[in-house]
Every structure is written in structure tokens, then in C-alpha cells.
Structure 1
């Protein structure tokens, strides 16, 4: 995506905030995606339906965004798959991300969106570590490994 506008960022932020708020108000749950996914697999059976619906909603929302961008002639604004990126590196990155979210007891959605909104010091620290790690990783991948 090369044409990010303030309006799309604002709309996305409002929708994320609304979804996180509704999940907390209506279900008493934090919208941490890694926790929702983990508990879908290993959590209580009676809580699996809402977790599956929430995760399917994420996928459906992304699919709808992509489809609408194409329908309205803005396919260039829709997310594009990475081409030429080594699959082994993507697998390692996914495993490290999963390990990191387990180590931090949450991910950017849980800590960055919900935790910061609740003024959690632990979430502020975790979000800072996420950002520093993302910046360092981007530097290494682009400037040391030479991948774009």
C-alpha cells in the first residue's frame, strides 16, 4: 500500500477502537488477537464460538476491504502480497512473532490498543518493545539482508 490517506487511517482506527470497545463492553473481554486465537485452540469449549466469530470477522473485514477497493477502481489501495520474499524467512518471522506474543502475554492489539487505552504500564512497556523490535527488524531486513 503506497497511498495511505489520513481518512483511511482515521476510519481504520475508529473501527478498531469500536470493535475493541464493543468486545469489552458486551463480552467483558480484551481484544487481544493472540490471546483470542490461543484460547480458541486451548481454551474453554463454551467460549470458542465468539472467539471463532471474532477471528473470522477479521478475515472477512480484510476480504471486504480488498473487494471494495477493487469494485470502486482502487485496486492499488488494496493490500498486496509480498513478492520475492523468501518463504523460509516468513516462516521464521511467524514463529518468532508467536513466541514473542507468548513471552509478552499479548500482542500489539492487546497491549497497544486495549492496554494503552486502560493506561496499563505493562502494556506501555510491551508496546515500546514491539516498536523498537519492529524498527530494528526492518533495518536488518532492508539494509543488512537487502530485502525489500
Structure 2
């Protein structure tokens, strides 16, 4: 057995810990779309912690890729138009679903939110369908 599950478990614990600490110490939900929205459309005294949270995400991801041997690296072969369309679709879906996977999956389920349960089940069903279509029918973007 390789050590991939160990790094995944450590990552999960750190995500849960950071979400719990943000809720406990700041009274805020660690949904990335909501945090980003607060940076783009700032409210008084609400931007500093949001910027720090987002910068921490970027720094942690960069540190992981730089220091962990064999860490997954971003794809560089996707056409820019595909990335732009994908980003817009994710943003549209996030707005439609009143939150992102982190907000619903990590924070919403932890607070026993029924809306988040429905959202997570929808995310998972869509992911399963996508993998099925790509693997068995070769459907790609």
C-alpha cells in the first residue's frame, strides 16, 4: 500500500480543522466562493481575513507541489478557451447552487444542512456521470 491515503487523510484533517477554526473564531463559513465574492464585492472590515485565507490556499498548494515528491501538477495542455469556458461554467454553477463544493461539502454537511446534502449528492452524481461518459464513450470537451 502506498502513502497516498496518508497525505489525503492529513489534507482532510487540515481542511476540517481550518473550516472549524474559521467558524469558531470568526463566525464565518469556509466556502471559497463566498470568501472570493467578499473580496470582489467587499464589505467594511471584511476583506483582510478573506485575502489572507485565499493567499493561504495558494501558498499551501504551491508549497505542496514544490516540496512533496510526485505531487500532482497543474495541466498545461488545455487550450485557454477551454479553461475560460470551464471557469465560467463553474462560476455559474456555484451561483446557481448558492455555494461551492467546499462550502456545501465541508461546512454545510458538518452543520447538517439539508440544502448542502442535496448539493453534494448533485455534485457526486454529476462527477460519476462525467467519469462514466469519458471512460466508456470517450466523450470529452
Report deviation, 1:36. 0.3
**2:75 alignment counterpart:** 82
Unmatched 5+ stretches in structure 1: none
Distance 1:137 1:66 in 2: 26
| Alpha-carbon offset, residue 89 of structure 1 | 1.8
For residues 79 and 132 of structure 2, what CA distance do their matches in structure 1 show?
17
Distance in 1, matches of 2:91 and 2:3, equals 28
Alignment length, in residue pairs? 139
RMSD of aligned residue pairs (Cα, Å): 1.8
Q: How does 1:85-104 map onto structure 2 within 5 Å? A: 85-104=78-97
The equivalent of 1:64 in structure 2 is 63
Per-residue CA deviation, residues 54-105 of structure 1 (Å, 9 max, x unaligned), is 0000001111112221xxxx2x2x2212243232222111111000110111
Counterparts in 2 of 1:146 and 1:107: CA distance versus 1, 3 Å: closer
Check the 8 A contact 2:65/2:73 in 1, yes or no: no
TM-score normalised to structure 2 length:
0.89
Structure 2 gap ranges (5+): none
